[in-house]
């Protein structure tokens, strides 16, 4: 029996998880899995630098443990002992609104409060704004499947003030996007579903808390609650996956085109053309590169699929990290982060304190601070952005928000061009269509942050599901023992 050959394109966490799952499912069977990564390193936007007592993340610094796929993978890789939780004394999230900082009311979960008491006491909202929020259970539910923006949903259910001062900054910080551009159904499926099931977010959250006892007492805000990381940084996970894959993961191996044909046995064959001109024959492919990159590969072979993939918008992410002496702060910070209400003069949309969130991120006496900056779209502006200008912009935000004085010990800027997928209204229908088109072409699956969740656990799930679906489809089409899952 000839070995079945599967290629995974893209060595970010989605592709690594897909390749690893393929290896798990085909262990002991004649199968050859190859991962092709264009750059010189694996991990995609997950990148940790460790030096002089600092553990610095250029991309994600934590993941939501409520979604089980990342912790489950960590366990399978023997990394459970490496997982660390956030420090309970620094879990507060603050909102910067018109130059002042306010605590996110305790128990406020991204879109709605689990308790009304802290919301009533909050100085962030006006009495009218609070009253409008408190009326949420009386707002008629919209029902139906028609998508809308996060902004429209929140204005409708909770009022404009709740959107501008609380929900908008919290959601905007997670997605690095304008809430009036984001699909409610795709980015906030849990709250979208609550309106349908419970006719109210307040009732939905109370029901969820009662049934799950939620386990997050005392935790505030969105981005920082229930998050975990690895002792030596997020790259630990990618390093373990890379180690498990060994020579099967090829770096500096850009795929420039995918061409399909039908073999004499009727099965689909793919030919991956690499940047160096080499051609690799494959029985199945998982595309785990960003959607716009996958579109380029398929332009000639599957123009409709490529056109659909191109419709998924991406933004550039810019993260400036500073090592500051504790004494640079007017008052020692005691928080996980700050989300910034959009304002013309504000370049930052969020600030986080990795060394307060997690133990072991900075040497004694130093504080690590990350500033998430709005970066102009590099695709529209091919002139390289000045890293120094971004570092200065981030620092001036820290001075304005926290009264930071003096100069940092050092600063670093990470720029991720076209790295953040944004889900626009109608995204889920578009993804359904893309998956159907891929299934109709045959022996190809899509994975990555472009489709059904941008968080690290979602990406792992997406890669693992793609692996399972592809093997299932190959087994069904070829009926060969080498392709069977069991």
Contacts (Cβ under 8 Å, ≥6 apart) of 247? none
Is there a contact between 275 and 256 (Cβ–Cβ < 8 Å)?
A: yes
**7 near ligand FAD (CB under 6 A):** no
Q: Is residue 46 within the footprint of ligand FAD (CB under 6 A)?
A: yes
Q: Within positions 261 to 290, which residues make up the interface with ligand FAD, using CB under 6 A? A: 288-290
Start-to-end CA distance of the chain, whole Å, equals 16
* In the complex, least distance from residue 415 CB atom to ligand FAD, rounded to whole angstroms: 9
- Residue number with CB closer to ligand FAD (35 or 133): 35
Nearer to ligand FAD, 395 or 421 (CB): 421
> Residue 52 contacts by C-beta under 8 Å, 6 or more apart in sequence?
363
Q: Kindly state the helix (H) or strand (E) to which residue 317 belongs, with its residue range.
A: strand 314-325
Residues 410-439, interacting with ligand FAD (CB under 6 A): 416, 419-420
**Which position among 133, 459, 465, 483 is part of the footprint of ligand FAD (CB under 6 A)?**
459
394 binds ligand FAD (CB under 6 A): no
Window 234 to 263, contacts with ligand FAD (CB under 6 A)? 254-255
Looking at beta carbons only, is 202 or 230 nearer to ligand FAD? 230
Contact 73, 21 (CB under 8 A): no
**Nearer Cβ to ligand FAD (162/319):** 319
The C-alpha atoms of residue 257 and residue 445 are separated, in whole angstroms, by 15
Please give the radius of gyration of the chain, using alpha carbons only, rounded to the nearest integer.
Answer: 23
**61 is a contact residue toward ligand FAD (CB under 6 A):** yes
How crowded is residue 262: how many other Cβ atoms within 10 Å of its Cβ? Answer: 10
Q: SS in 3 state form for 413-473?
A: EEEEEEEEECCCCCHHHHHHHHHHHHHHHCCEEECCCCCCCCCHHHHHHHHHHHHHHHHHH
Query: Which residue, 5 or 478, is less far from ligand FAD as judged by CB?
Result: 5
φ/ψ bin of 286: left (φ > 0), alpha (ψ from -120 to 50), beta (otherwise): beta
Report the nearest approach of ligand FAD to the CB of residue 240 (Å): 15
Q: Residue 279 phi/psi, 5° resolution?
A: -125, 135
Residue 212 gets which letter from DSSP? H
| DSSP label of 29 | S
* Rounded distance between C-alpha atoms, residue 108 and residue 224, angstroms: 12
Q: Does 454 bind ligand FAD (CB under 6 A)?
A: yes
Number of residues that bind ligand FAD (CB under 6 A): 37
User: Binding to ligand FAD (CB under 6 A): which residues in 363-382?
Assistant: none
Across the strands, what pairs with 421?
A: 314
Q: Which of 29, 30, 32, 38 binds ligand FAD (CB under 6 A)?
A: 38
Among 7, 15, 107, 221, binds ligand FAD (CB under 6 A): 15
Which C-beta is closer to ligand FAD: that of 61 or that of 195? Answer: 61
Residue 423 Cβ, how far from ligand FAD at the closest point, in Å? 12
In the bound state with ligand FAD, the residue whose beta carbon lies nearer, of 124 and 188, is 188
Contact letters for ligand FAD, residues 308-327 (x by CB under 6 A): ---------x-x--------
3-class secondary-structure state, position 214 = coil
Residue 306 · residue 298 · CB < 8 Å = yes
Q: Determine how many CB atoms are found less than 10 A away from the CB of residue 464.
A: 22
Stretch that binds ligand FAD, among 103-111, 132-140, 450-458, 477-485 (CB under 6 A): 450-458
Q: Which residues pair with 405 in a beta bridge?
A: none
Residue (181 or 477) nearer to ligand FAD, CB: 181
Instruction: Compute the distance between CA of residue 235 and CA of residue 437 in angstroms, rounded to an integer.
Output: 34
Q: Rule CB under 6 A: is residue 293 a binding residue for ligand FAD? A: yes
Q: Which stretch binds ligand FAD (CB under 6 A): 43-51, 117-125, 184-192, 436-444?
A: 43-51
Window contacting ligand FAD (CB under 6 A); options: 33-41, 305-313, 379-387, 393-401 = 33-41
Complex with ligand FAD: residue 296 or 392, whichever CB lies closer: 296
Binding residue for ligand FAD (CB under 6 A) from 158, 226, 455, 461?
A: 455
Q: Is 60 in the site for ligand FAD (CB under 6 A)?
A: yes
User: Distance between CA atoms of 9 and 1, rounded to whole angstroms?
Assistant: 25
The C-alpha angle 417, 420, 423, rounded to 5 degrees, equals 140
Position 448 contacts ligand FAD (CB under 6 A): yes
For ligand FAD, the closer of residues 204 and 453 by Cβ is: 453
> Of 369 and 456, which CB lies nearer to ligand FAD in the complex structure?
456
Rounded distance, CA 417 to CA 391, Å? 17
Q: Could you say whether residue 10 binds ligand FAD (CB under 6 A)?
A: yes
Q: Mutual orientation of helices 235-245 and 13-25 as an angle, nearest 10°?
A: 40
| Piece in contact with ligand FAD (CB under 6 A), picked from 7-15, 111-119, 158-166, 278-286 | 7-15
By the criterion CB under 6 A, which residues form the site for ligand FAD?
A: 9-15, 36-39, 44-46, 59-63, 254-255, 288-290, 293, 297, 317, 319, 416, 419-420, 448-449, 454-456, 459
């Amino acid at each position: 029996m000839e070995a079945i050959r599967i290629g995974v394109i893209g060595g970010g966490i989605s592709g690594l998880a897909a390749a690893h799952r393929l290896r798990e499912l085909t262990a002991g069977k004649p199968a050859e899995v190859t991962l092709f990564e264009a750059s010189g390193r694996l991990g995609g936007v997950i990148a940790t630098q460790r030096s002089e007592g600092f553990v610095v993340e250029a991309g994600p610094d934590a993941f939501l443990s409520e979604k089980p796929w990342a912790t489950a993978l960590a366990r399978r890789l023997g990394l459970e002992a490496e997982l660390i939780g956030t420090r309970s004394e620094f879990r507060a999230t603050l909102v910067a609104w018109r130059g002042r900082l306010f605590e996110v009311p305790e128990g406020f979960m991204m879109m709605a409060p689990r308790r009304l008491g802290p919301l009533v006491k909050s100085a962030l909202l006006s009495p009218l704004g609070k009253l409008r929020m408190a009326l949420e259970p009386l707002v008629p539910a919209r029902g139906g499947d028609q998508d809308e923006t996060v902004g429209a949903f929140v204005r409708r259910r909770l009022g404009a003030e709740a959107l501008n001062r609380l929900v908008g900054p919290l959601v905007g910080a997670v997605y690095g996007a304008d809430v009036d551009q984001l699909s409610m159904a795709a980015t906030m499926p849990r709250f979208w579903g609550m309106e349908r099931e419970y006719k109210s977010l307040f009732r939905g959250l109370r029901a969820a808390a009662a049934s799950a006892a939620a386990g997050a007492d005392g935790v505030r805000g969105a981005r920082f609650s229930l998050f975990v990381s690895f002792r030596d940084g997020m790259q630990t996970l990618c390093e373990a996956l890379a180690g498990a894959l060994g020579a099967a993961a090829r770096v500096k191996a850009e795929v420039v085109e995918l061409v399909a044909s039908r073999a004499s046995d009727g099965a689909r064959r793919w030919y991956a053309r690499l940047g160096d001109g080499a051609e690799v024959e494959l029985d199945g492919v998982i595309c785990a590169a960003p959607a716009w990159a996958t579109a380029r590969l398929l332009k000639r072979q599957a123009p409709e699929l490529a056109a659909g993939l191109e419709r998924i918008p991406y933004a550039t992410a810019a993260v400036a990290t500073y090592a500051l002496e504790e004494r640079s702060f007017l008052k020692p910070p005691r928080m996980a982060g700050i989300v910034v209400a959009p304002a013309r003069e504000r370049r930052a949309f969020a600030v986080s304190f990795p060394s307060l969130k997690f133990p072991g991120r900075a040497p004694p006496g130093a504080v690590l601070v990350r500033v998430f900056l709005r970066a102009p779209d590099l695709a529209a502006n091919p002139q390289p952005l000045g890293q120094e200008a971004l570092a200065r912009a981030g620092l001036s935000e820290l001075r304005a928000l926290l009264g930071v004085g003096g100069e940092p010990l050092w600063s670093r800027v990470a720029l991720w061009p076209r790295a953040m997928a944004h889900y626009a209204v109608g995204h889920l229908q578009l993804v359904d269509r893309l998956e159907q088109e891929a299934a109709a072409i045959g022996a190809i699956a899509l994975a990555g942050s472009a489709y059904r969740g941008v968080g690290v656990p979602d990406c792992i799930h997406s890669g693992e599901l793609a692996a399972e679906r592809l093997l299932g489809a190959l087994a069904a089409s070829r009926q060969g023992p080498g392709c069977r899952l069991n």
